[in-house]
């Protein structure tokens, strides 16, 4: 079932009866997915339980059942973790055809990125849907180590990055969009651990208003905490890096605490 070196890619699949089947790219299937991070010398994917909950929530939102238990999925992931030589992203996808697990190189971690405007609408913004095939294809056309697609709705509001949540910073206020976006796990961890000297505000911001921001951050399982340094069609540049540096540290500390709490668990 594994077609490529386990150092860089792992692919495996099972049908709803839990029988192994040839792996297929699940994009375009009716189903949902979640993407988590696997790091060397760790016993579990980062924030694993939260990702399984998110996967099941997405399936429920799409009107689908999950025939695979957390235990079944976890056992299969342990096979990969025992052979891994490099950190990677792990995509867990459940579709009507079965369970599809694959690993991918982590891209854009903590990077300085260029924001590219994208008006593709997600199939179901509140779910991690495999039906977002147009967005998936668009992502494959950019350099994910240097660029991120910024999703903009028909009214000109910024929604999220294609693989990240968007956080706009003005002074000591961090602004997070509310509409047509899925509040990701990385965003949740940051909000839960944000010190009191920062103010979190849930507010929708138009694309034109990003020009007045001191910083624009991007957070997600792959990029962790990254930032924009360029915005398509604008002369905007960040005027500070204070939020970027502190929130990166906050997230790293949260990761360490989570890993510490999972010692001895599999």
* Cα 115 to Cα 120: distance, rounded to the nearest angstrom: 15
CATH of the domain at 231: 3.20.10.10
* Cα 66 to Cα 58: distance, rounded to the nearest angstrom: 10
Could you say which of 104, 132, 148 is where a domain stops?
104
- To 10 degrees, the CA torsion angle through 178, 180, 181, 182? 100
Is residue 171 included in any domain, yes or no?
Answer: yes
Give pLDDT, residue 50.
96
- To 10 degrees, the CA torsion angle through 89, 66, 47, 198? 100
Is residue 175 included in any domain, yes or no?
Answer: yes
- Split the chain (266 residues) into runs of 10 and give each run's mean pLDDT: 46 96 96 94 92 97 96 90 83 97 93 96 92 95 96 94 97 94 94 97 95 97 97 96 98 96 72
Give pLDDT, residue 7.
39
* Cα 215 to Cα 51: distance, rounded to the nearest angstrom: 28
What DSSP letter does each residue of 204-238 carry, written as one string?
--BGGGGGG-SEEEEEETTTEEEEEEEETTS----
Could you say which of 104, 124, 140 is where a domain stops?
104
Give pLDDT, residue 6.
35
Contact 6, 85 (CB under 8 A): yes
Give pLDDT, residue 1.
37
Give the predicted TM-score (pTM) of the model.
0.92
Which domain range does residue 127 map to?
112-255
* Cα 175 to Cα 91: distance, rounded to the nearest angstrom: 28
Could you say which of 70, 88, 104 is where a domain stops?
104
Is residue 6 included in any domain, yes or no?
Answer: no
Give pLDDT, residue 204.
94
Same domain, 229 and 126: yes
């Amino acid at each position: 079932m594994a077609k490529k070196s386990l150092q860089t890619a792992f692919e495996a699949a099972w049908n709803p009866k839990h029988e192994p089947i040839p792996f297929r790219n699940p994009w375009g299937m009716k189903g949902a997915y979640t993407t988590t991070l696997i790091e060397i010398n760790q016993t579990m994917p980062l924030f694993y339980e939260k990702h399984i909950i998110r996967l099941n929530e997405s399936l429920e939102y799409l009107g689908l059942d999950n025939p695979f238990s957390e235990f079944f999925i976890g056992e299969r992931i342990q096979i990969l973790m025992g052979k891994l030589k490099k950190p990677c992203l792990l995509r867990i996808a459940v579709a009507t055809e079965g369970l599809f697990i694959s690993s991918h190189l982590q891209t854009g971690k903590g990077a300085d990125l260029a924001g590219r405007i994208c008006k593709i609408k997600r199939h179901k913004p509140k779910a991690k849907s495999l039906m977002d095939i147009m967005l998936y294809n668009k992502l494959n056309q950019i350099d994910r180590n240097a660029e991120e697609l910024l999703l903009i709705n028909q009214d000109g509001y910024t929604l999220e990055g294609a693989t990240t949540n968007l956080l706009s910073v003005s002074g000591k206020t961090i602004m997070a969009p509310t509409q047509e976006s899925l509040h990701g796990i990385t965003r949740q961890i940051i909000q839960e651990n944000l010190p009191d000297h920062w103010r979190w505000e849930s507010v929708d911001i138009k694309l034109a208003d990003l020009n007045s921001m001191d910083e624009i951050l991007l957070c997600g399982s792959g990029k962790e905490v990254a930032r924009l340094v360029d915005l398509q069609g604008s002369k905007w540049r960040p005027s500070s890096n204070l939020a970027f540096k502190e929130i990166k540290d906050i997230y790293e500390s949260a990761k360490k605490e989570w890993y510490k709490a999972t010692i001895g668990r599999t």
